[in-house]
């Protein structure tokens, strides 16, 4: 019965993106007039408003994107593209607003160093389950939307902290990305990017992180509200890094908790991803923080990662993307195995002044 229910849920998730997207075919691309009609339909669907001058400029971008998507979907790949809310953005504009975490630049100031411990190193890969989905286990909150703010690093951090907190305490609490944007300014740069490791450090040193309700998201840099920051809901005790360029190690970690990773997400196929197992094209110029919340194998035997994004629930598979797992390149697809880390939690919530009690193992 549980298997039937799970398959029904998967089918529902596969159909929803097509309900949310703008369907079109070759006939819509036959003339400028039909393309214009398609563009206006797209604007209405996504509630996009442009003045006359901007509309003309955006139309030419939209045309190229629509043609690219149509031609791509004819190739019969393992994944499909769609005219989503990014339909009239160039690749450069999209990258600047939604995949601009500039991981490599931040790494210049904080080179990646392995923590002294990788707790899951002794795990035998052959003993791991064939699939795991932390959403089904109640350890993942709803999909959020970073907006036009390069705060993906904060969202990635929060997913992992929310996950380990639920695993350790049984309580799923939606935490505040805005606190990290406003207050974690020593090493991270708010809407101009950051690193998840820095954010884990900040949460530990600050004595925890507050809830999204207490410190709601504004999609812009702001002044740190110390009163909210000093009312943490969840504490962590540090973080560990996953050995770089090792998908087996990443698998071991994800089998135990959601994991923060960096990827390259700035190409057109990623921008317009709709459904299926993403197999590229992408390189390893890391520019976006996301979280791996599971893994599995599709009906064709293709292994994949379940990745939670922060571009809202209308992108991809209800805000998620399945990315191919176990490829020949050691870095993993789009560099997913290059820069992974996860929080460690042994302390109770909320913290008590002067004494933090430990969770029993």
Active site residues: 152, 288, 309
Locus of tokens 């998730």: 13
Count the residues in the chain: 361
CB 230 within 8 A of CB 329: no
Side-chain-side CA neighbours of residue 121 (13 Å): 11
Task: Give the position of tokens 């006939």.
Answer: 27
Please state the separation of Cα 327 from the chain's center in Å: 20
Count the neighbouring beta carbons within 10 Å of the beta carbon of residue 23: 10
The residue among 91, 89, 69, 93 whose CA lies nearest residue 81 is 69
Structure tokens at 115: 């923590």
Q: How far apart are CA 244 and CA 250, in angstroms?
A: 9
Contacts of 302 by beta carbon, 8 Å cutoff, 6+ apart:
78, 277, 324
66, containing H or E segment: helix 52-73
**Dist. CA 55–CA 61, nearest whole Å:** 10
Count the alpha carbons within 13 Å of 115 in the hemisphere toward its beta carbon.
19
Tokens linked to 47? 């509630």
Identify each DSSP E strand in 149-287 by its residue range.
239-241, 259-263, 273-278
What is the C-alpha to C-alpha distance for residues 344 and 204, in angstroms, rounded to an integer?
10
Distances (CA, A) of 39 to 22, 25, 27, 147, 226: 10, 13, 14, 22, 45
CA–CA distance, 25 with 16 (Å, rounded to integer): 19
């Amino acid at each position: 019965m549980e298997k039937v229910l799970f398959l029904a849920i998967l089918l529902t998730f596969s159909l929803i993106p097509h309900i949310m997207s703008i369907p079109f075919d070759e006939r819509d691309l036959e003339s400028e007039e039909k393309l214009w009609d398609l563009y206006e339909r797209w604007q209405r669907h996504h509630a996009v408003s442009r003045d006359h001058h901007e509309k003309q400029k955006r139309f030419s971008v939209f045309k190229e994107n629509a043609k690219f998507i149509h031609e791509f979907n004819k190739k019969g790949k393992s994944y499909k593209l769609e005219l989503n809310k990014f339909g009239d953005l160039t690749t450069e504009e999209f990258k600047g607003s939604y995949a601009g975490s500039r991981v490599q630049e931040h790494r210049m100031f904080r080179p990646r160093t392995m923590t002294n411990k990788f707790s899951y190193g002794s795990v035998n890969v052959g003993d791991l389950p064939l699939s795991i989905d932390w959403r089904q286990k109640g350890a993942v909150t709803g999909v959020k939307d970073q907006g036009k703010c390069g705060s993906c690093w904060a969202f990635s951090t929060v997913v992992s902290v929310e996950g380990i907190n639920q695993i350790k305490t049984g309580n799923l609490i939606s935490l505040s990305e805005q606190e990290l944007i406003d207050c974690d300014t020593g090493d991270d740069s708010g809407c101009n990017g950051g690193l998840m490791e820095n954010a884990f450090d900040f949460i530990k040193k600050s004595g925890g992180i507050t809830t999204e309700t207490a410190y709601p998201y504004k999609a812009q840099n702001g002044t740190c509200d110390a009163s909210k920051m000093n009312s943490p809901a969840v504490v962590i005790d540090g973080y560990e890094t996953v050995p770089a360029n090792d998908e087996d190690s990443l698998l071991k970690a994800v089998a135990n908790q959601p994991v923060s990773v960096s990827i390259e997400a700035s190409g057109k196929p990623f921008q317009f991803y709709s459904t299926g197992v993403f197999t590229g094209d992408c390189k390893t110029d890391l520019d976006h923080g996301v979280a791996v919340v599971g893994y599995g194998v599709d009906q064709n035997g293709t292994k994949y990662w379940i990745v939670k994004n922060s571009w809202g629930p209308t992108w991809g598979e209800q805000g998620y993307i399945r990315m191919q797992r176990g490829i020949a390149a050691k870095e993993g697809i789009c560099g997913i195995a290059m820069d992974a880390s996860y929080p460690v939690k042994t302390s109770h919530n909320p913290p008590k002044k002067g004494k933090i009690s430990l969770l029993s193992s």
